[in-house]
Amino acid sequence: MSADSSALQTLQAIFPAHSPTELHRILLASNRSLERATTALLGHAPIVSATGSTGKSLKRPREHKLDGWLKGAPLKAQQAPPPATRRAKVKEADSTTATSAFSLLRSLPSTSSLPSPNPPPPVNLPPLTLSTPAMIAEHTHGLITLIPNVLPADLASRLYKTMVEESEGKAGTKEAWDRNRWYLFEREVESPHTTSFYVEAPNQLDGKSYDAQAFAEAAHHWYNGEKRSARVFLPEMDEARELIAALMRTVLSERERHPLEWQGDWAPNVAAANCYRGAKESVGWHSDVLTYLGPYPTIASLSLGVSRPFRLRPFLPSTSSSSASTNRTLEIRLDHNTLCIMHAGCQERFKHSIPPVGAMDVFRLPGEGKEGRAYRERINMTFRHYRPDFAPLPTIGSITGSSSLARPPVHSAPPPAWATIPLAAPPPPSSSSTSAASSTYRGTPYCHCGVPTLLRPDAKGRAKARLAPSTSSSSSSAPPNEVKGKEAESPDDLLFFWTCAAGMQNEGKTCKFWQRLDMRKEGRGRWFVPPSSAKTTAGSAEVVGRGEGEV
């Protein structure tokens, strides 16, 4: 796929009301710069929130904010998966997905494909609806498993009601969920849905090699760097995550684990929660940032309430030609009480989105009949396993485990926001600690802006092509991540890198920091030695954790 068609695709996603021809013309007139084309199409207006925190006026109609992005086709009537028992469904899904995922990863568009001098213009096929477990397994290469009716019906209803109230600020913490805000091309944008982030209460952490504060701090990455507090799991969420954890143990025991993924138990220790109120609320194309999940994470995403389509689109290598079929958007309907498991490799190979829909059915709780409240909300909870070997450093090692702190309504003091932690100046390049192999865990690399970086996969193969053109063949002997041993036995050859995150909150300005993930040098995976056993204190950790050199 050429840079042009990639940019064109992005423009089509942002401005679906414009024809591909028109977008192509504007892209060419903008010297093929995506940013310039976007600016031109937005008429130079900043995308600011209605409350205008930048102080600039809202000049564009609402459809030009993020919630106007990706206006998809109206939701087509779709066939719900046929009913079956929970056990049978797990089996059915497993039988089509087990152990095949990583060999199938190799069959996805390769980052080593040859450039195509004249790629054909992208053809816009409508999304392909995947309505059976077999279709889902085939088209997602085993990277998605859907489990309908995952929770007992009564728990699903209770959890849904609580989370709707919680999102409105009427339960638990009495604080409504917020919209994320961040910068894109130096314009402030806000998420077209509301969101919040949940972590384990300190008393749930006894004996674990991380602490609640560390992961509360990690909530910042969920919020694109905006300073927000994490909340503690509500009782109904705990009930659900226990059941989901047990189910996931079975599902994962039957799958091949990727050498770079977490090799221990998958424990859902955090959850991002999203509320989509009405047909227009949505989330745009993205893949989940890997900063605390590490490479090849498994994410268990629970849907409650209104049914909405979930879309997936493969990342296409920047240097390869693509056909309309390899690039086709996939669509899966997510009904109430469905678990959508995004397996290891899904974030690396696909983007996902919840598009706005033209119309939607309201939701009534099972058993309440027509008299029941007509809900307009879809609640989503993505249960995630934040890895100790990817945890933020400043507070790791200070496990509280205090039962007197049982279930506080919310972390009362804001977590030690990375943007506010007094930072030592980044060390000079010569003192870069990356050169010394060390197995002591040193946390998240900090960039030159003094903030923790984001971990992302080199999903399009751009970095790989730039770094090592000679390794661009899939038969390359150069291992990923420059490591020997188990972590080098990656069945695909994707790279991961740390990048500056400051731009998301710093009026779009970044320091261009870029550093390749190296599991061994950074003391992760099988080289992980928890800082507590290395006698790291919170105070010294602040200094140790920052300022790795740029490569």
141 binds, among ligand AKG, Fe ion, none (CB under 5 to 8 A by kind): none
What token pair was written down for 252? 């994962």
Site residues for ligand AKG, 375-434, by CB under 6 A, read 380, 382
Site residues for Fe ion, 235-294, by CB under 5 A, read 288
Residues with Cβ within 8 Å of residue 267, at least 6 apart in sequence: 245, 385
Nearest Cα neighbor of 340 from 288, 278, 417, 413 is 288
User: Between residues 111 and 287, which has the closer beta carbon with respect to ligand AKG?
Assistant: 287
354 binds, among Fe ion, ligand AKG, none (CB under 5 to 8 A by kind): ligand AKG
User: Between residues 288 and 377, which has the closer beta carbon with respect to Fe ion?
Assistant: 288
User: Between residues 230 and 544, which has the closer beta carbon with respect to ligand AKG?
Assistant: 230
Q: Where are the alpha helices (DSSP H) in 324-478?
A: 346-349, 462-467
Nearest Cα neighbor of 541 from 530, 549, 551, 550 is 530
As a whole number of angstroms, the distance between CA 550 and CA 546 comes to: 12
As a whole number of angstroms, the distance between CA 238 and CA 227 comes to: 25
User: Between residues 47 and 275, which has the closer beta carbon with respect to ligand AKG?
Assistant: 275
Q: Where are the alpha helices (DSSP H) in 324-475?
A: 346-349, 462-467
Tokens 């402030």, residue located: 188
Using CB under 5 A as the binding criterion, the count of chain residues that bind Fe ion stands at 1
User: Between residues 288 and 542, which has the closer beta carbon with respect to Fe ion?
Assistant: 288
What token pair was written down for 175? 């604080």
Site residues for ligand AKG, 280-339, by CB under 6 A, read 283, 288, 301, 310
310 binds, among ligand AKG, Fe ion, none (CB under 5 to 8 A by kind): ligand AKG
Task: Point out the residue whose Cβ comes nearest to ligand AKG.
Answer: 380
The answer to whether 117 and 285 have CB atoms below 8 angstroms apart is no
User: Between residues 277 and 352, which has the closer beta carbon with respect to ligand AKG?
Assistant: 352
User: Between residues 288 and 348, which has the closer beta carbon with respect to Fe ion?
Assistant: 288
- Compute the least distance from the CB of residue 20 to ligand AKG, in Å: 26
As a whole number of angstroms, the distance between CA 393 and CA 548 comes to: 13
As a whole number of angstroms, the distance between CA 531 and CA 540 comes to: 11
What token pair was written down for 120? 């054909």
Q: Is 92 in the site for ligand AKG (CB under 6 A)?
A: no
For residue 93, give Cα distances in angstroms to 136, 226, 250, 329. 9, 38, 12, 21
Q: Is 232 in the site for ligand AKG (CB under 6 A)?
A: no
Site residues for ligand AKG, 242-281, by CB under 6 A, read 272, 274
Q: Is 354 in the site for ligand AKG (CB under 6 A)?
A: yes
User: Between residues 281 and 518, which has the closer beta carbon with respect to ligand AKG?
Assistant: 281
- Compute the least distance from the CB of residue 427 to ligand AKG, in Å: 34
- Name the strand (E) or helix (H) holding 245: helix 235-253
Q: Which residue type sits at 452?
A: P
301 binds, among ligand AKG, Fe ion, none (CB under 5 to 8 A by kind): ligand AKG
Kindly give the interhelix angle for 86-97 and 235-253, rounded to the nearest 10 degrees: 40
- Compute the least distance from the CB of residue 467 to Fe ion, in Å: 27
Per-residue contact flags (x/-) with ligand AKG for residues 63 to 82, judged by CB under 6 A: --------------------
- Compute the least distance from the CB of residue 203 to ligand AKG, in Å: 26
- Name the strand (E) or helix (H) holding 330: strand 330-334
Binding residues for ligand AKG, rule: CB under 6 A, are 272, 274, 283, 288, 301, 310, 352, 354, 380, 382
